[in-house]
C-alpha cells in the first residue's frame, strides 16, 4: 500500500526549478557614492551569501541548533521522527516536530506551515527529492539564505546586519549562537523584543555546540560572559540620510514601477558618507543651539502612573510607546522631581538620575511657580540626553526646523542633504519642498544683474532712506529700512553687499529695471513667476527652495555655468548590471553658460568680502581661510534665516525657520542662526582642502581704488574693460562700521 501511494504521489511533486534557479525577493537598496548602505525598501530584508563565504562557526551553530545529523541523513532523520511521534502520542497532541534542514527548505519553498500528517508526508517526499538533486552544501546554502529570522530579516546574512550591524564574518561566537537560535521561533527568541528568552535560547545553542565538539569549554564560557549589543533601531544605517534615501526611492520607483521592491535593485547616490555625517551633525547642532537659546518649554506630555507598581513595571514601557527616540534624545517618564534632582524611567528598564548641570536648562520648570501644564512632576514625559561621560541632562525636541544641502558646483552632484531635524517626526523635505523668502541671500542675483547694466563694484550708491508713494506701489506708501536702522550715506557697491544695505539693493534694482532683473534671475534657475517685478524683489521677497539656492550659487562658484543638481548616479540590478546612469552636465561647456565669466569673478570677489569683513565675517575667522564666499539672509520679521556660500570645491546652503512661519526671535539672523551650520559643515569637508581662488578671466582691467583710510576693500578694483571709469569716485562711508548680523 505504501509503495502504491509513493508511486502515485512522488511523480506529481513540484519541480525543483525554484531551488536550482534560486531567485529570492530582494529589497531595493540605496547606497552612498562610496558604497555604504543608506537604506532598503521591501517586505523582505535580504542579503544573499554563498556557502563558501559562511563562517564555519556559523554553520556549526546552525547544525547544533537545528539538525546535528544533517550531513548523515538522506533528508529525513528517522531517529528524530520516531522520537517526535512517540512524544506526540504520549501527549495526545501534534506538538513536537523533527524537521531536518532539508525538510525546512521543502516547507519554506513549497508547503504551508500546518501540522498535519498529510503535509508531513509531502514534506518528507519533497526532502528525498531535494536530497537526490542537490548537494548538502547547496541545501544548506538555500536554508541559510531563505529562513525567516524576525525583524523582516530573511537569511542569516541579513539578520547579522539587522541585529548586530556587521557582516557574518565579523560575528563573535556569542552572536553566532544568538542568531542560530532564531529559526525555531523568530518572534519568541527575538533579542530585540524578548531579550531574556533570546538569552536562554542562545545558552542552549552554545551547550549543544559544546556537546557536539564544535567548541571548547573555554570558548563556551567566554561566549556566555559576553554582553551582546543588539541594534534596537533596525532601520538604522551608518549615517542619517533618510531624506536623500526617500528621494532615491522615489526615483527608482518611477523608473522601475513593477518590481522595484523585489528584484534587488541597487541605487547609488552621489552622497558621500563623511559629507552626509558632517551635514547631519552640523544642522542638528545648529537647531539644538537655537532651541536652547530660547529656553525650556516644559513637559512634552503627561502619563498616568496610578497603576504603576514599581520602577521596573513593564507597563512603563507601554506608556512610552507613543514617544520615539530621536537618535540621542530619549523620551523618559519622570518618577520623582525636585529642584535638586530628577529621576526618570527610560525605555528598556533604565532609571536615570539627572542632577547638577544636567538640570540647569529645565530648572525653571521645577519651580512651584511653573505653569501647571508644563511643570516637571511625577508622570511628566521629558527628553534626556547623555554626554561622552554618560552624564545625563534634560533637553527637548526643537520646534524649529531647518535644512542643509551641499553640492559639487562643477557637476551638480549632491554631496550631502538633510531635509529637517528628524525624518521620523517630519518627513517634509525642507531642502527641496520648502518655498520660503530668501531675504538678503537673494541680493547677489540683484547685484549680478546690476553688473550687466554697467554698474561696477566701485560704483557709488546712496545708503539713504527712501520712500515710495502709493501711486508707485499701487497700494500704500512703502518706506523700507536697513536691518539695523542705520544709514551711512554714499558707499561703493562692494561695501554695500558686504554690509547688506537694503537701500543700496533697492536703488540698484530700480536703476537696472525690475523687469530686466526678473528675467535675468531665470539664468540662475529661478522661476520668474515666484519673483514678481516689484522693488521688494531687492529684499528677497520672492520664493525659493534651498535646492534652488545651491544650484544658483554654484554658478558663481564655477565661473558662470548652469549646472543641474542630481542625487542618483546609477541604478544596478542584483547582478550589478547597470540599468540607468546619470548624465550630469559639467561646468566648462559654453553652451551651458549662464552669466559672463567676468560677472562671476566680480561677484565671487565681492562675496568673499562678505565672509571676511561683512555680515558673515565669522566664517573666515572660524575656518581661517579667505577663499570662502557667500551671503547671509534674514527675512522681514525674522521669519527665515539663511546662509548660502561656497568654496571652489563645494557649495552649501543652510536655512532655518518654523513650518508655520513666525518670528525666530530677536537677534536671530542669517549670521547667528544659519551660518553656524554652514561653518560646522565646511570645517569638516574642507579640513584637508587647500585654499583656491577663481582665476581672473580675460576682459577685466585693474585700477587703483583710491580707497579711504581704514577701508577693507581691495587696493585695486576690477572693471569690465568697456566700463573702466575715467576716475574712481572716493567712498565717503565708514568701512570700519561693524556690519549688522543680517
HEC-encoded secondary structure of 37-49: EEEEECCCEECCC
Domains belonging to the chain, first-starting first, are 46-225 (1.10.3810.10), 301-395 (2.40.50.140), 403-723 (3.40.710.10)
- Per the structure block, which three cell numbers stand in for 611? 565672509
| Active site residue ranges | 66, 440
**Please, which residues have CB within 8 angstroms of residue 39's CB and are 6 or more apart in sequence?**
29, 30, 235, 237, 241, 242, 245, 249
> Furthest-apart CA pair in the chain: how many Å?
115
Residues of the chain with pLDDT below 70 are 1-15, 17-22, 80-98, 111-120, 232-238, 471-474, 705-713, 732-738, 740-741
In angstroms, how far is the first alpha carbon of the chain from the final one?
93
Distance, in Å, from the CA atom of 171 to the CA atom of 557, rounded to the nearest integer, reads 47
- Tens digit of each residue's pLDDT (9 = 90 or more) over 182-233: 998 887 788 887 888 899 999 999 999 999 999 999 999 999 999 888 876 6
Distance, in Å, from the CA atom of 126 to the CA atom of 133, rounded to the nearest integer, reads 11
* Strand 578-581 relative to strand 629-634, pairing: unpaired
Burial 14-30 (b: 16+ CB within 10 A, else e): eebeebeeeebebbbbb
How are the residues of the chain apportioned to helix, strand and coil, as percentages rounded to the nearest 5? 40, 15, 45
The string of DSSP codes covering 448-486 is: HHHHHTT--TT-EEEE----B-HHHHSSS-B----TTS-
Q: Measured between alpha carbons, how far is residue 263 from residues 41, 43, 101, 146, 567 in Å?
A: 11, 12, 26, 15, 21
Burial 129-148 (b: 16+ CB within 10 A, else e): bbbeebeeebbbbbbbbbbb
pLDDT attached to residue 2: 46
Considering only CA atoms, give the Rg of the chain: 33
The string of DSSP codes covering 98-113 is: ---HHHHHHHHHH---
- Among 654, 740, 738, which Cα is nearest to 438's? 654
Contact between residue 398 and residue 290 where contact means Cβ atoms under 8 Å apart: yes
pLDDT attached to residue 115: 52
pTM confidence score: 0.83
Contact between residue 533 and residue 516 where contact means Cβ atoms under 8 Å apart: no
Distance, in Å, from the CA atom of 695 to the CA atom of 523, rounded to the nearest integer, reads 22
Amino acid at each position: 500500500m505504501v509503495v502504491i501511494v509513493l508511486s502515485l504521489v512522488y511523480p506529481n511533486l513540484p519541480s525543483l526549478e525554484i531551488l536550482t534557479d534560486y531567485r529570492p525577493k530582494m529589497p531595493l537598496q540605496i547606497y552612498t557614492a562610496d558604497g555604504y548602505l543608506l537604506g532598503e525598501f521591501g517586505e523582505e530584508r535580504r542579503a544573499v551569501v554563498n556557502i563558501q563565504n559562511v563562517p564555519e562557526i556559523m554553520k556549526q551553530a546552525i547544525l547544533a541548533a537545528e539538525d546535528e545529523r544533517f550531513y548523515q541523513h538522506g533528508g529525513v532523520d528517522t531517529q528524530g521522527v520516531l522520537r517526535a511521534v512517540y512524544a506526540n502520542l504520549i501527549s495526545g497532541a501534534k506538538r513536537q516536530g523533527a524537521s531536518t534542514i532539508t525538510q525546512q527548505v521543502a516547507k519554506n519553498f513549497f508547503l504551508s506551515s500546518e501540522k498535519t500528517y498529510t503535509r508531513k508526508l509531502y514534506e518528507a517526499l519533497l526532502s528525498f527529492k531535494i536530497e537526490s538533486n542537490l548537494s548538502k552544501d547547496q541545501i544548506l546554502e538555500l536554508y541559510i539564505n531563505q529562513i525567516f529570522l524576525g525583524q523582516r530579516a530573511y537569511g542569516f546574512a541579513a539578520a547579522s546586519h539587522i541585529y548586530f550591524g556587521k557582516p557574518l564574518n565579523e560575528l563573535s561566537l556569542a552572536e553566532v549562537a544568538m542568531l542560530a537560535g532564531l529559526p525555531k521561533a523568530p518572534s519568541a527568541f527575538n533579542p530585540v523584543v524578548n531579550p531574556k528568552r533570546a538569552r536562554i535560547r542562545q545558552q542552549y545553542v552554545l551547550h549543544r555546540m559544546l556537546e557536539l565538539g564544535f567548541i571548547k569549554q573555554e570558548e563556551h564560557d567566554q561566549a556566555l560572559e559576553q554582553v551582546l549589543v543588539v541594534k534596537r533601531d533596525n532601520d538604522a544605517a551608518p549615517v542619517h540620510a533618510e531624506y536623500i534615501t526617500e528621494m532615491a526611492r522615489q526615483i527608482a520607483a518611477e523608473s522601475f514601477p513593477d518590481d522595484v521592491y523585489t528584484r534587488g535593485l541597487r541605487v547609488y547616490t552621489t552622497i558621500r558618507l563623511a559629507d552626509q555625517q558632517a551635514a547631519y551633525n552640523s544642522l542638528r547642532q545648529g537647531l539644538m543651539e537655537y532651541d536652547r537659546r530660547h529656553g525650556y518649554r516644559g513637559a512634552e506630555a503627561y502619563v498616568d502612573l496610578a497603576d504603576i507598581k514599581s520602577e521596573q513595571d513593564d507597563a512603563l514601557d507601554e506608556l512610552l510607546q507613543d514617544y520615539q527616540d530621536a537618535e540621542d534624545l530619549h523620551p523618559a517618564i519622570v518618577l520623582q522631581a525636585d529642584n535638586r534632582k530628577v529621576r526618570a524611567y527610560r525605555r528598556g528598564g533604565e532609571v536615570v538620575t539627572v542632577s547638577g548641570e544636567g538640570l540647569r536648562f529645565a530648572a525653571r520648570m521645577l519651580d512651584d511657580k511653573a505653569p501647571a501644564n508644563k511643570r516637571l512632576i511625577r508622570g511628566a514625559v521629558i527628553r534626556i540626553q547623555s554626554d561622552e561621560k554618560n552624564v545625563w541632562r534634560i533637553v527637548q525636541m526643537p520646534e524649529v526646523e531647518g535644512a542643509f544641502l551641499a553640492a559639487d558646483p562643477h557637476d551638480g552632484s549632491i554631496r550631502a542633504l538633510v531635509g529637517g531635524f528628524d525624518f521620523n517626526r517630519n518627513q517634509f523635505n525642507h531642502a527641496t519642498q520648502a518655498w520660503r523668502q530668501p531675504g538678503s541671500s537673494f541680493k547677489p542675483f540683484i547685484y549680478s544683474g546690476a553688473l550687466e547694466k554697467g554698474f561696477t563694484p566701485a560704483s557709488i550708491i546712496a545708503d539713504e532712506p527712501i520712500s515710495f508713494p502709493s501711486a508707485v506701489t499701487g497700494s500704500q506708501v512703502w518706506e523700507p529700512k536697513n536691518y539695523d536702522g542705520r544709514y551711512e550715506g554714499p558707499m561703493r557697491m562692494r561695501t554695500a553687499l558686504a554690509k547688506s544695505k537694503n537701500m543700496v539693493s533697492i536703488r540698484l534694482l530700480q536703476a537696472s529695471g525690475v523687469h530686466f532683473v526678473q528675467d535675468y534671475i531665470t539664468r540662475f534657475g529661478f522661476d520668474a513667476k515666484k519673483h514678481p517685478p516689484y522693488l521688494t524683489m531687492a529684499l528677497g521677497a520672492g520664493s525659493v527652495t534651498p535646492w534652488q539656492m545651491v544650484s544658483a550659487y554654484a554658478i558663481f562658484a564655477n565661473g558662470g555655468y548652469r549646472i543641474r543638481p542630481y542625487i542618483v548616479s546609477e541604478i544596478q540590478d542584483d547582478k550589478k548590471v547597470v540599468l540607468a546612469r546619470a548624465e550630469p552636465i559639467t561646468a566648462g561647456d559654453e553652451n551651458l553658460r549662464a552669466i559672463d565669466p567676468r560677472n562671476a569673478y566680480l561677484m565671487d570677489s565681492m562675496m568673499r568680502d562678505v565672509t571676511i569683513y561683512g555680515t558673515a565675517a565669522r566664517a573666515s575667522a572660524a575656518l581661517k581661510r579667505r577663499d570662502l564666499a557667500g551671503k547671509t539672509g534674514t527675512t522681514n520679521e525674522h521669519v527665515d534665516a539663511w546662509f548660502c556660500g561656497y568654496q571652489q570645491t563645494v557649495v552649501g546652503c543652510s536655512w532655518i525657520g518654523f513650518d508655520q512661519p513666525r518670528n525666530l526671535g530677536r537677534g536671530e539672523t542669517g549670521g547667528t542662526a544659519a551660518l553656524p551650520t554652514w561653518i560646522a559643515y565646511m570645517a569638516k569637508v574642507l579640513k584637508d582642502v587647500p585654499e583656491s581662488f577663481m582665476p581672473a578671466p580675460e576682459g577685466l582691467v585693474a585700477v587703483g581704488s583710491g580707497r579711504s583710510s581704514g577701508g577693507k576693500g581691495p587696493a585695486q578694483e576690477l572693471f569690465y574693460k568697456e566700463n573702466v571709469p575715467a576716475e574712481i569716485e572716493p567712498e565717503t562711508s565708514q568701512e570700519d562700521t561693524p556690519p549688522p548680523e543680517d
